[in-house]
Structures are given as structure tokens and as C-alpha cells.
Structure 1
């Protein structure tokens, strides 16, 4: 996990992605590839290419697909969410501040990483 950004419910995906990708491109100069869902289309892709030199690939569901379909690269996000749900505090929205939720996600991922290093 390279970075986390928890936002209020009234913040759109595109606005949050714009800020997060700018932060990540400053910290990680060789960030590639970047995958996003269909909610991050439009001016965000153009801005990432021109201002941040990032190529964003949109993972789309084909028009003919119906029902629940696991999209390519989507399993990475779903697995990440499953790991977070192993932390009891993150199962429900107990945090009052977005910064507290950020810290809890980092803490959860640190526990997961340390278990992998230990071999558990």
C-alpha cells in the first residue's frame, strides 16, 4: 500500500483521486501503471497525463456483461478490502475523523505485513 486517503461521503471519487495521485506522484517517481474504475474518467485522465506524467488505465465492464462480474485488476482492490475487514475496528464506521480512519488503515496494513514477514 503506497498511500491512503479517507474522505467525507460528499467528496467525489474524481476530486479525491486528483489529490491522492498528485501526492503519490511526488512520493513515488516511478509510479506505473495506474488503474482506475469508470468513475475516474474525463478530465482526471488528461490532467494525470499532462501534469503528473501518469498513464491511467480505466478498467471497464463490457456493455454485454450482466450481474456481478469480477473485472480485471479489480480483485486486487477487493482483496485489500478483505484484509482491512480482518481488523475489528474497521468493520464498522467508528471513527469520527478521516485522519483517525487513515491511521487505522495504516495500522491494519502494518499488522498484515508483519504477519507475512513472520510467516503466519
Structure 2
């Protein structure tokens, strides 16, 4: 804790109050609306991108909310997110790293569709294919479009739609507290993601000019 801050327990009480009463999410969403308006977009997005990021967890993270992602490989937690076409956060859900993408995505998409009624199209990678496509269309009214890697691609190639969410993850990794998961509770970890994007959008709105 910085030396000019109050004792950590007082800071945590304030953080917990803001986290549980949802003003963190409310402030974030208002700023996202301002950024979209400034860039000449509708206040509510119609298109999004979904992906997940696995990060190492600190020792304080219990076994009940941590796991091993064999694809990375990372022992810690996973952050499935939905962002809009500008790379602004629409929803985040923190889970154990061994939680399957399809499982987390089903819950996260339902939350995003409920909060953003104009959302009609969501781009995803091949890990979200299969029955999830039919579920999204039939249950949520969302078209889930899969961005596939073509057979003639070689090496590390990021498709255009994926750049949007990769830039978002890059921002999170430049937020020191989010380079690793330090939170005991997943709700606290989610709140930290919203705080990071709140700071990002505040700085963006402070820049001169239209963008």
C-alpha cells in the first residue's frame, strides 16, 4: 500500500463497498458511453468480440478459484471478456484457469446480451464453436461468428477482429496490479478490470481532439 494511503483495512472497506454496491461498474459504463459518443458511435454497441486471458495467481488465491490452463500453460485464473468494436469492455467474468472457454462464454454472453440489448453479433475464435453457436442464436438472439485460421497461414498471425481484443489484453498487462491475479475473491478481480478500463477511458477523454 502506498505510504500516503490510509491503513489497508480502511482502504479495503471502501473498495468492498464500491465493489458490492456496483458504482464501479456504473462509472465504467457511463465513461464507455462518453467515449463512444465522442467517436461518433451509437451509445450501445451492436457488435462485440469475445476471448479469454489466463494469468498466474498469487499465493493468496485459493484452490477453489484457481486451476491449470494446459493450453498456455498457466496456473491461476482466466479472464473471459466481451469487448465492443473499439476494444472497450462490455463484460468480464473471472474463473479458474481450467474452466473451459465454452462454459464461461455461455454465462458471459448471457450477461452481455442482457445489459446491451442492441448487441447482435459477437466474434470469437474456433474454441467457441460447436453447440454454443446454436445456443447463442436460439436463447440469446446473438449471431456467434467464428474467426478461423486459414490453412495457408504460417507462424504467429492474429486475424483483424482478434486484434481488437488482443489490444485490450495488452492494456490489462500494462496495469501492474493485473499482470498477476492478487485477489482472494473473483468479484474483486473483476472489479479491478473495470477500474483499469475506467482509468484508461478517463485518460482518453482528457486527450484533445475528437479521438
TM-score bin, normalised by smaller chain: over 0.9
Structure with higher helix content:
1
- TM (norm. structure 2) is 0.55
Structure with higher strand content:
2
Assess if the C-alpha contact under 8 Å between 1:8 and 1:98 holds in 2: no
Once the 2 structures are TM-superposed, how far is the Cα of residue 14 of structure 1 from its aligned partner?
0.2
Pick the aligned partner of 1:87 from 175, 187, 194: 175
SS in 2 for 1:3: strand
In structure 1, how many angstroms separate the alpha carbons of the residues matched to 2:145 and 2:198? Answer: 28
Pick the aligned partner of 1:32 from 107, 110, 120: 120
Find out whether 1:48 has 2:158 as its counterpart: no
Find out whether 1:10 has 2:103 as its counterpart: no
Alignment coverage as a number of residue pairs: 120
In structure 2, how many angstroms separate the alpha carbons of the residues matched to 1:85 and 1:74? Answer: 17
Residue segments in structure 2 that go unaligned for 5+ positions in a row: 1-88
In structure 1, how many angstroms separate the alpha carbons of the residues matched to 2:200 and 2:161? Answer: 21
Assess if the C-alpha contact under 8 Å between 2:120 and 2:141 holds in 1: no
RMSD: 1.2
Query: What residue in structure 1 maps to residue 186 of structure 2?
Result: 98
- TM (norm. structure 1) is 0.94
Once the 2 structures are TM-superposed, how far is the Cα of residue 68 of structure 1 from its aligned partner?
0.3
Query: What residue in structure 2 maps to residue 64 of structure 1?
Result: 152
1:75-97 superposed Cα distances (whole Å, 9 cap, x missing partner): 00110011112211011232232
Residue segments in structure 1 that go unaligned for 5+ positions in a row: none
